[in-house]
Amino acid sequence: MIANPRWIGAGLVALSALSFGAMAIFARFAFAGGVDVTALLFLRFLIAGALMAVLMSALKRPWPRRRNALTLALMGGVGYVAQALCFFLALQHASAGLVALLLYLYPFLVTLLGVAFAGERLTLLRTLAVLSALLGTALTIGAGLSGSPLGIALGLAAALIYSIYILVGNRVLKEEDPLAAAAVVMLAAAGVFGLVVLVDAPRFPASAAAWAAVLAIALISTVVAMVGFFAGIKRLGAADAATLSTLEPVVTFVLAAIFLDEPVSAAQMAGGAIVLGAVIALARGQAGTGQGKGSTSSR
């Protein structure tokens, strides 16, 4: 059971969710140390991309083939940058809770787009898991859901772009190594954010604690998170990996309660339990079908 590729994939996505979920906590300390969003995103991908390049060289891993490398570069330099831009612009026109909830529509969108364009199967288990995860995420994020039509549109755009990013990544990862794919995405994103830094006069970290937080974001919330997610997609497929990644907001509110003394409501606890239940049901149910790694090729 432990060796089942789906269980390994679920564990990798859970590790990714833990790493991504911690980013909000690290970012709080980074922003307190004077860094702004532009500088943070640039340093995040520059450090992560450089580390991945060194790792690729040390391990003598082959880089993706030209066509796939171009696709991955577009995923990082266009898709990831556009998603981040829409997300942060949405925060200026809508509450953080609403923007986060709109972003976490992406498992639902990935599932629908996968069925419509990638030949994926919409099973009863997958449908119930996605809907339960969406409900649990809504409860976890909490109240304060308000925003203008522009903010809602930008939030939906961020979710749609990220959904397409995941589906394109799912296709490329059938042919490429997750480590190499993540390296190209990070380096491409670093290049684009580097151009932004040249014209935006960013504020870099002004304290050792802020630099430590930026480093944690680069290493944990980028390298570990992205490689884990890509490796999970390769084993699970886009739809199930996206649904399992709804653990992220649960991780965030738990860590915020532990390290930032933020209050936790009964609704958040219920939402976290629902998400966790959906994740376990999806992992156990799909693993029990015996699909294994073939689940990606059957879609």
The overall pTM is greater than 0.95 = no
Look up tokens 């976490």; give the residue. Answer: 104
* pLDDT value of position 47: 97
Would you say residue 298 lies in a domain? no
90/228 Cα distance (integer angstroms): 27
Would you say residue 107 lies in a domain? yes
Q: Which of 67, 75, 62, 50 is nearest to 169 (CA)?
A: 75
The pLDDT-based confidence of 285 (bands split at 50, 70, 90) is: low
Structure tokens at 227: 């490689």
Structure tokens at 51: 């580390």
Is 125 a residue whose pLDDT tops 90?
A: no
- pLDDT tens for 18-31 read 998 888 889 888 98
| Count of structural domains within the chain | 1
The pLDDT-based confidence of 261 (bands split at 50, 70, 90) is: confident
150/152 Cα distance (integer angstroms): 5
Mean pLDDT computed over every residue of the chain:
84
Would you say residue 28 lies in a domain? yes
Would you say residue 299 lies in a domain? no
Would you say residue 72 lies in a domain? yes
| Domain range for 83 | 5-293
Residue 276 near residue 246, CB atoms below 8 Å: no
